[in-house]
Structure 1
Amino acid sequence: MSANEARGKIRGHNPLIGVDVARLEAEMVAYHQWLDERADEAYIIAEEARKKGYDHKEYVEIPRAADLAGRTEKLLIEYLEGYEVADDIRLLLAEHDRETTSIMMAQSVARGFRERGYDLVTAIDVGLRVGLAVLTEAVLVAPLEGISEVRLLNNIDGSQFVSVHFAGPIRAAGGTAQALAVLIADMIRRELNIGHYQPTDPEVERVKEEFGLYRGNLQYRPSPAEIDEIVRACPIMINGESTERIECAGYGRVRNIDEPRIRGGVLLVIGEGMCLKAPKIQKHTERLSVPGWDFISKFAERGKEKETEGKGQVFKSRKVPTISKFMKDIIAGRPVFGAPLEAGGFRLRYGRARPSGLAAASTNTASMLAMDDFITIGTQMKIERPGKACAITPSDHTEGPWVALKDGRFLRLDDAPSFAAIRSKVGSIWDNGELVIGYGEFMENNKNLVPAGYCDDWWASDLIEEIPNEKEVVNLLTMLGLSRSDAPEGAPGIHPEDAEDPGDQFHVRRHWHEFLRHQRPTWEQAKAIAVRYKTSLPPPHNPWFLDLPIEWVPGVLTMLEDAVIEQAGTVNSQKIEIEDGLNALPKPESRQLRIIGGVQGWNAEAMDVLRPETIEDVEAYTIPGQELRPIEPIFGGETPEAWTLIQHGMAKGMAMILGLAHHHDGEDLVITSGWPAVLEGFGFSFEGDQPLRIVDARARFEARIEELKQAHLVLSEERKRLDELQRARATVRIAAETDA
């Protein structure tokens, strides 16, 4: 094969480029061999100890298995009765995913047992347990205790149907396995030519009553109409053992149901399985063309935007929806680190730290200390998205917390020793820092990606694509004030697939990415690079503009017009002593922005006061700083960021909301980092000693504010008209019902 042909074989995003596959495979084989040898030694010692007769059994009960196939066979050894399934599972897994393999193995085992002369109930039972074991990787108790039994019952017309009795431990399998267990049972039913379930009205009403009486925790409680649709359309009867003390009064004694007490397994499978995991069921029913499962599409499409007939897609808001479910299950005594989608909580960053894993997220060690040590390695934390919870691991390359100190300093701390150095001086934790979550967690939970802050990782990834040759390498290094010897070799803009040596180019790009993401360009450097290479601005040159209420902007513009630009380190009052071991971030610019009188009357004790439930009038409070206030709330209610205004005033509040590092110099606020981006964004030039307005941003913001006010007025009038219409309809309806 020629070199060109070889490169053609690996074009595209080949994950093996640059990886020494032969060495890694040899190391993996050696490592597994070492594990096997040590496990053999441990089992020999354990067997010898058991033979002494001090335990209940004289042998080690835990069987050994090398892979999923082996685990499945060993887990269900009492049900299989010598029937071998491991080889068949390995063959299917080599060609299909685990979910498809579970369905095919369940059908195969059920058919095999039937051919060996076993009765229908046994064949269905064993096949279903094998399918569920493969689905749960044979590491959970669900295949053994999650299904209590399988029965063949009769419909009103005398035809047989399959009734699967689920028990409480089915919860361990998760919603996907619960839902697919029903689909697997249906596939077995079809394989063995058994009829489908035809529920009577009392059987349907019984499930509705159980959902109404159940007081346990469910991720989703379907409505009575949804329950009716699922129970009537599902070809398998979802049955179960009685798990609660509460009895059903209205439909306690119903055919095909043993007791009047609530069946917890039924509610789990319908609520958390059939309803929540409908998209996954639909994927398999459509691929396998399984009839009788059309009803599941309604639940799979719930919450998705539907296309209008002949008009393409309907309007889709860019606003990220708030998920407040994690706040509903708060246990007394547990700390709450942030409200849904509110500034100050953990900020999303896509990625994965080295110690991270499945359903895990990573945060800075300084953030762990800032949360008063409630968070540590392995802590389980409920989060808004993408899943229900995550396990915390540490990361040394994420932004730590932003803190406001009692002496007025506002800074970010990215390492634990720095936070420990100022811990006694912390007045408030303004921002928790970043929480690193992998893209795969969103995909696994079927959740859409949401916007995340632009970070130095993205900046480095964007930048290396624009450096395809040595000339651009030199230009970039010149902008950064570096020499060629300071940077890695090669030009990173060449894709590995297009290079003569893909493996070598892979490492060139990796080294450049590592080099660039540790650069901290000044404002001038970052702006020049953004203009030339069309990248965005890396931190700290991308303030949190989204968090700044538009009602604050007119006052902020007035404040910036009167600010003073001076050399960094200029002090008019007492100089602040820097603590030993403190690495305050971001680093100061060469110049600083001084807001005269910005913190006049500021008091650190204000940070110790709890926020009142409502703030009707901010003027009732003594507000520090300049006599500047936000405009009246556009959408009614209290002033946006009212408590921040009351505690810190307009100038300091603006700097904190935007994430601008600063300190106090007497009654002045001195912003040391990020301010050039703010002035640039609001249309100011700052070449001299005072900001100069070059774009009339005030007129643009005032026009925008007026548009929002008009829109709010139209919506208010429309809501009022709709309320009157509904009251009129209610009057007519009540009159008609009374006459009837």
Structure 2
Amino acid sequence: MDIDRLSKEKDSYQVWLDNRIEEAYTIASEAKSKGLDFSEAIEIPRAADLASRTEKLLEDPYLYPDPERKDVTALRIEGPLRSLLLTHDRETAAIMIAISVTKEMHIKTGDKRRAIDSGLRVGLAVLTEAVLVAPLDGIGEVRLLNNEDGSEFLSIDFCGPIRAAGGTAQAMGVLIGDILRREMGVSRYIPTVSEVERVKEEFGLYRANLQYKPPPEETELIVNECPVMINGEETERMECAGYKEVRNIVNGNGTFRTRVRGGVMLVIGEGLCLKAPKIRSHTERLEVPGWDFISRFADKQKSSGLEGSRDKKSRIIPKEERYMGDVIAGRPVFGEPREPGGFRLRYGRSRATGLAAAGLNPVTMEAMGGFLSVGTQMKIEGPGKACAVTPCIEIEGPTVLLKNGNLIKIQTKKEWREVEGELDSIWDSGEILLGFGEFLENNKSLIPSSYSIDWWAADVADSIDNQQKIGVFSDIVEVPVRDLPPGMPFNGAVNRGGEDSLERSWRKRDWVSFLKGLNLNWSQMKKICESFGTAVPPPWNLWWSDLPIQFIPALVKNLLNYGKIESGSLRIVGVVDNWPLSLDHDDMGIGSPVMGEWPRWTELSRHGVVKSSLMTLGLCHSHDEGDIVIPHFWESLLDGLGLEWQEGNIRVRVDVNPLVSEFVDRISSSLVKIDSIESEGVDYSDVSMARSFLEDYEVERALQIVRRSSSLPRWEDAVPCRIGSRMGRPEKSGAREMSPLVHSIFPIGEYGGPQRLISEAAKKGTIRVVVGPRLCQECGRQSPHVTCHHRIEEGNHIECGGRTILAPRKKSGRRKGERTAVNLGSVLEAKRRRLGLDRLPQKIKAVKGLFSEEQSPEPLEKGILRALHGVSVFRDGTSRFDMSDVPVTHFRPSEIGTSWKKLVELGYTHDIRGSTLTSDHQMLELFPQDFILSSLAEKHLLSTCSFVDDLLKRFYRMKPFYGAKNRQDIVGHIAIGLAPHTSGGVACRIIGWTDASAGYAHPLFHAAKRRNCDGDEDSVMMLMDGLLNFTQTILPANRGGRMDAPLVLTTRLNASEIDKEALNVDCSWNYNRDFYEATLSQPHPKEISEIVDTVEGRLGMIGEIRGYGWTHDSGPLDAGPSNSSYKTLVTMKDKLDSQLDLGSVLRSVSVERVAKQVIESHFLPDMRGNLMAYTRQKIRCVKCGESYRRMPLAGKCIKRTVRSSGGFGGSGDSSCGGNVILTVSEGAVRKYIQITEEVILEYGVDGYTKDRVDWMSASVDSLFKNDRVTVMTLEDFI
């Protein structure tokens, strides 16, 4: 890579970002200083790295010696932590800084408990990149309790938000706690029998999802041996019965915790049990005593792995059924596990894959019923659990069978549109692009690579290592040397230096691209195979390993008897008369299968042996009356079957019938040996050889015959593996809205009616709502607002406007609000005048109540202006837009709707080849913090910008900031990216737009948010909106309320400090021959990581964020359907019909199995749940929304309401009197019964499933039908 140029571009880019962010902070600081908000300072502190983020995240209150006195300087950990991170790994640095903070805090306060609390949270923050809420809300109370002998021990309360930290951080939190309590001289935890049994009981009652639920004996071992008490807050509704009130399992106020504690389950199950090997590595390295018990779990995992490694590694790739366990109606299955016809694996990374995203041909996305769009989640068989879909035009699209019998490959949308109406079946779904890094990240062994054009090109490129071979190659392909790429593709003198590495890299890439684009004939291909030792490349490399060898004799016989060469095509006469067929077993002409049954995927009974064989091999052909015509690539068919052709006639070169007979006999004898394993005197070495032979046959099938009968020296498997998949979540691109939509975080109770309109509440006069009392520093009166709303003089609309402070509270608790009278109409009028508006918006939607600790409403002016501009607000005061996460490392200006001239202004001065940017079609490498938005966000962001400008102008009395009139005006502005489970935003720059319903960003940017691209969705907000409107004061006071809030802003990305998954992203322009050959032995990715270029290998260099490569071009970034069919189809019946229709045409899917899975995993649980909900439902008032467990005796709502003041009656209490209705209707219970019965009737299911449906239907009927009442008509008496 061009290190000098890339380094200068990086430095210039970071300076640009810093300057723009500083400009925004300066303006926002000026606005905040006016005293119109809760805080006079911006509440989103900036942080450039992990050390800075950690300090700013925890500073208040955990780094202050006395949280109540801010005049005492807080501990400064940024510098020491930064130094530790430079010299130690993150885990070691976390432990060391935690010890340092604990000691320093103890010196300042003398409080052991507080010292341990602060140190523990700092350590956990470092482990979670200081972007999660786990250090804040994932740990509740840290207490020093007493053992039965009176000694003190450390108890850590783990809460629900600790789940986001992951198993390793959870377990490390316990380890750090143990280290810190030793430093403070606190004794170890000695549990009582009751405390041990309580945890065992809780595991039995816990119903939430756990990756691992330990058996009682393992739970007992951990609780008894762990030196720290793993405690937690109650999270579940289920109460313990056997050990309900247990000593030390209490709240801070001494009350017993009787319900299940989810945090304890998470830390023990997913932390200490699952991550035992990692924890042991730290305890052994640091020589921490008392952790020998963790070795038992680590040894258990290791021994199970070793047992598997002692055996010979099986060549058969195991099926992974997990993704098929939860099939949802309307979300299709695209391929069953390892089933031929499913997605064929192709190694590589496009510029829009990696970090769990996978590539599909855009035609494949269309062919899958339109259910796959950019950003749509697919649940896959491996290597990970799921992936987001992105387009890749360089991989193969689907192979389809038409109603006229033609089998064709589709590569363009135009071709697909021409044949879509004539589709009989999708014989093959095409390829899926997955990189080496996906296997490395998921700790899965590599799967043997297919012999793709990529492998063939790598073979040729690595073989041409001298000028003579270039001449030979030139003669074969009939291309003059001067027209070949310059230089040699392989330089054997690489290690001796003397050549620029950048030039060498580009030369290799140019050669590989040239080789992949060659259009060779059979003769040229044969000569290359013989001269350079390559295998037969596609499209001549047929899918031999799918074809049962017993098909071969009949296929050869038909080729010899009825085959002839005409006009360059192979014609097989009369073999598809009366197609499609319906053959019985006896009519197939190939005898009985030697193993089990004929594979379903061959569809032998429908097509006959010849056509079925050709289709199984993936050889495209057409029907001409009763003949099959193969226009291309038939040469490899004949050569592989030991045939040759001369003057249009086909004849035998090698007789394959004896070979087939030999293999069939060996298969039969091997099966006999295996069946006789229980007999006495069996030679187990023979049985082992028999199993090995059968395994080889199952993997290679007809390929074994081809390798012995072909005239070519080398054949490799074209289809060693398929990847099963189904649809997960549809792609997302939409404004983040509270439910229901809210403009103003201002409480109006029930006064606003069902739509919660402020205008309706204002009509009631003075309303009484729960708000936090505040005192005006100017007039001394109470006001719930940040600025005093009282008028200076009666009859004068001008408000006092004095800044208020918190008033003394009359009660204690999580929330401090009091019921207060608010003359909303008067306040609204004053706000309207202050904002300079002629009239207020008709619909300003507010909230019923506030859930923050102070329960103080945000300034009402902000809600008015949001309603004016049609902008909704999230619970933290910001306005956001959600988009599915999709990675991208390179783009063209034409793809993002931004001119090259504008991009030059933004720092994109050169393309990836180092040429000056002068065109919209040059390829550029994305800067790591640049963001490409979905065009669906245009309206929302323009409205947000207008709102912010109006807010600055009317509320803060300052100049507008954005002035955006169209989407191009937003390009170049800074935004904040934020993931829902985190508490740290990441600064990004908007550079363009895409028509996809997804947000494109660099893999490092997504990882900085602690996200990957497996179908997740995150939000983006404009920077100025966040700086002006975000405040922690209005965040919910409940546990986890600080999640999904930008408590800190990362301004620079550091590849070594983000989520480690990004370090496994591929960066190479191509894989070399050694990689492809290594995959054949299915090694662990770490065994060959040195021959693949990943981000981790570039850490500490400019290459960690710049100079990435890709192996396959994605084509247009938004290719494929613009929206998934799941979103465009309206009713569930339409979605289900489309799902099953697609399953009916996919060869890799049994539609009967899909129908059964939908019923069992979706419809039946839903019907059962709705039936239970109906019998346990509450009654709801349509007027005020109050709910009751039982029908009130009055027959109407009896909730006491407070009448607003006005008229002669004054204020007083009365009952609501509204009508009450059921919350679950009969229709909700019955909604899936009819559609389920229709599915059973059309597709059929097993008897057990049908009986379950019948029983459920009868149960519903018995609930809603009165068996004693028979409705009769006159006809019944005739």
TM-score normalised by L of structure 2: 0.48
- Tell me whether 1:88 sits opposite 2:80 in the alignment: yes
CA 1:93/1:526 → structure 2, altered by over 3 Å: closer, same or farther?
A: farther
- Answer yes or no: is the 8 Å Cα contact 1:408–1:663 preserved in 2: yes
CA 1:711/1:35 → structure 2, altered by over 3 Å: closer, same or farther?
A: same
Q: CA deviation at 1:626?
A: 12
Which of 48, 57, 61 is residue 75 of structure 1 equivalent to? 57
**Runs of 5+ unmatched residues, structure 2:** 65-73, 251-256, 681-1278
SS at match of 2:231: strand
SS at match of 1:305: helix
Letter in 1 for 2:384: G
- Tell me whether 1:451 sits opposite 2:448 in the alignment: yes
2:207 alignment partner in structure 1? 215
1:515 alignment partner in structure 2? 514
Q: Distance in 2 between matches of 1:106 and 1:634?
A: 66
Letter in 2 for 1:94: L
Q: CA deviation at 1:25?
A: 0.7
Q: CA deviation at 1:362?
A: 1.9
- Answer yes or no: is the 8 Å Cα contact 2:277–2:295 preserved in 1: no
2:583 alignment partner in structure 1? 623
2:338 alignment partner in structure 1? 341
- Tell me whether 1:269 sits opposite 2:228 in the alignment: no
Q: Distance in 1 between matches of 2:205 and 2:553?
A: 55
- Tell me whether 1:652 sits opposite 2:649 in the alignment: no
Cα deviations by residue, 1:65-87 (Å, 9 ceiling, x for unpaired): 11222222211122222222222
Q: CA deviation at 1:21?
A: 0.8
The 10-residue stretch of structure 1 (669-678 or 28-37) with the greater mean CA deviation from structure 2: 669-678
Letter in 1 for 2:613: M
Q: CA deviation at 1:486?
A: 2.3
Q: CA deviation at 1:161?
A: 3.6
1:487 alignment partner in structure 2? 484
1:500 alignment partner in structure 2? 498
CA 1:139/1:412 → structure 2, altered by over 3 Å: closer, same or farther?
A: farther
Q: CA deviation at 1:156?
A: 4.5
Letter in 1 for 2:360: T
The 10-residue stretch of structure 1 (274-283 or 134-143) with the greater mean CA deviation from structure 2: 274-283
Q: Distance in 2 between matches of 1:158 and 1:558?
A: 90
2:241 alignment partner in structure 1? 249
Q: CA deviation at 1:450?
A: 1.6
Give the 5 Å matches for 1:413-492: 413-492=410-489
Q: Distance in 2 between matches of 1:522 and 1:674?
A: 9
SS at match of 2:489: coil
2:279 alignment partner in structure 1? 281
Q: CA deviation at 1:59?
A: 4.3
Cα deviations by residue, 1:658-716 (Å, 9 ceiling, x for unpaired): 22222222222223444333333333334553443333433333333333333334444
- Tell me whether 1:305 sits opposite 2:290 in the alignment: no
Give the 5 Å matches for 1:105-124: 105-124=97-116
- Answer yes or no: is the 8 Å Cα contact 2:81–2:97 preserved in 1: yes
- Answer yes or no: is the 8 Å Cα contact 1:281–1:296 preserved in 2: no
Letter in 2 for 1:666: E
Cα deviations by residue, 1:151-199 (Å, 9 ceiling, x for unpaired): 3334455444433322222222233333333333334344444444444
Q: CA deviation at 1:646?
A: 3.3
- Answer yes or no: is the 8 Å Cα contact 1:679–1:685 preserved in 2: yes
CA 1:363/1:129 → structure 2, altered by over 3 Å: closer, same or farther?
A: farther
Q: CA deviation at 1:519?
A: 2.2
1:63 alignment partner in structure 2? 45
Q: CA deviation at 1:467?
A: 0.9
SS at match of 2:144: strand
Q: Distance in 1 between matches of 2:274 and 2:266?
A: 10
- Tell me whether 1:669 sits opposite 2:652 in the alignment: no
SS at match of 2:109: coil
- Answer yes or no: is the 8 Å Cα contact 2:553–2:656 preserved in 1: no
Cα deviations by residue, 1:620-673 (Å, 9 ceiling, x for unpaired): x8139995355434443x432267223433223222222222222222222344
Q: CA deviation at 1:326?
A: 1.8
CA 1:299/1:622 → structure 2, altered by over 3 Å: closer, same or farther?
A: same
Cα deviations by residue, 1:509-543 (Å, 9 ceiling, x for unpaired): 22212222222433333332222222233222222
1:5 alignment partner in structure 2? none
Q: CA deviation at 1:115?
A: 3.5
Give the 5 Å matches for 1:383-422: 383-422=380-419
- Tell me whether 1:702 sits opposite 2:684 in the alignment: no
Q: Distance in 2 between matches of 1:331 and 1:49?
A: 50
- Tell me whether 1:639 sits opposite 2:622 in the alignment: no
- Answer yes or no: is the 8 Å Cα contact 1:651–1:669 preserved in 2: no
- Answer yes or no: is the 8 Å Cα contact 1:622–1:646 preserved in 2: yes
Q: Distance in 2 between matches of 1:156 and 1:694?
A: 89
- Tell me whether 1:598 sits opposite 2:575 in the alignment: yes
Greater Rg by CA? 2
Q: Distance in 2 between matches of 1:558 and 1:194?
A: 85
Which of 17, 41, 44 is residue 23 of structure 2 equivalent to? 41
Letter in 2 for 1:508: R
SS at match of 1:295: helix
- Answer yes or no: is the 8 Å Cα contact 2:602–2:613 preserved in 1: no
Q: CA deviation at 1:441?
A: 2.2
Q: CA deviation at 1:29?
A: 0.9
SS at match of 1:130: helix
Q: CA deviation at 1:290?
A: 4.2
Letter in 2 for 1:138: A
How many pairs are equivalent?
659
CA 1:20/1:341 → structure 2, altered by over 3 Å: closer, same or farther?
A: same
The 10-residue stretch of structure 1 (643-652 or 135-144) with the greater mean CA deviation from structure 2: 643-652
- Tell me whether 1:30 sits opposite 2:12 in the alignment: yes
- Answer yes or no: is the 8 Å Cα contact 2:588–2:605 preserved in 1: no
Cα deviations by residue, 1:14-60 (Å, 9 ceiling, x for unpaired): xxxxx111110110111111122222233344445556777655543
- Answer yes or no: is the 8 Å Cα contact 1:597–1:625 preserved in 2: no
2:805 alignment partner in structure 1? none
Q: Distance in 1 between matches of 2:279 and 2:667?
A: 44
Q: CA deviation at 1:435?
A: 2.0
- Answer yes or no: is the 8 Å Cα contact 1:404–1:426 preserved in 2: yes
SS at match of 1:294: helix
CA 1:490/1:73 → structure 2, altered by over 3 Å: closer, same or farther?
A: same
CA 1:407/1:718 → structure 2, altered by over 3 Å: closer, same or farther?
A: same
1:529 alignment partner in structure 2? 528
1:239 alignment partner in structure 2? 231
Letter in 2 for 1:541: W
**Runs of 5+ unmatched residues, structure 1:** 1-18, 571-590, 604-620, 722-740
- Tell me whether 1:146 sits opposite 2:115 in the alignment: no
- Answer yes or no: is the 8 Å Cα contact 1:364–1:415 preserved in 2: no
Cα deviations by residue, 1:356-406 (Å, 9 ceiling, x for unpaired): 342222222222212222222222222222222222222232222222223
Aligned residues with identical type, % of pairs = 47
CA 1:383/1:642 → structure 2, altered by over 3 Å: closer, same or farther?
A: closer
Q: Distance in 1 between matches of 2:148 and 2:644?
A: 83
Q: Distance in 2 between matches of 1:652 and 1:195?
A: 77
RMSD: 3.1
CA 1:437/1:89 → structure 2, altered by over 3 Å: closer, same or farther?
A: farther
2:546 alignment partner in structure 1? 547
Q: Which runs of 4+ in 1 moved over 6 A?
A: none
CA 1:505/1:41 → structure 2, altered by over 3 Å: closer, same or farther?
A: same
Give the 5 Å matches for 1:341-360: 341-360=338-357
Q: Distance in 2 between matches of 1:130 and 1:445?
A: 28
Q: Distance in 2 between matches of 1:320 and 1:174?
A: 29
SS at match of 2:166: helix
Letter in 2 for 1:254: V
Give the 5 Å matches for 1:173-212: 173-212=165-204
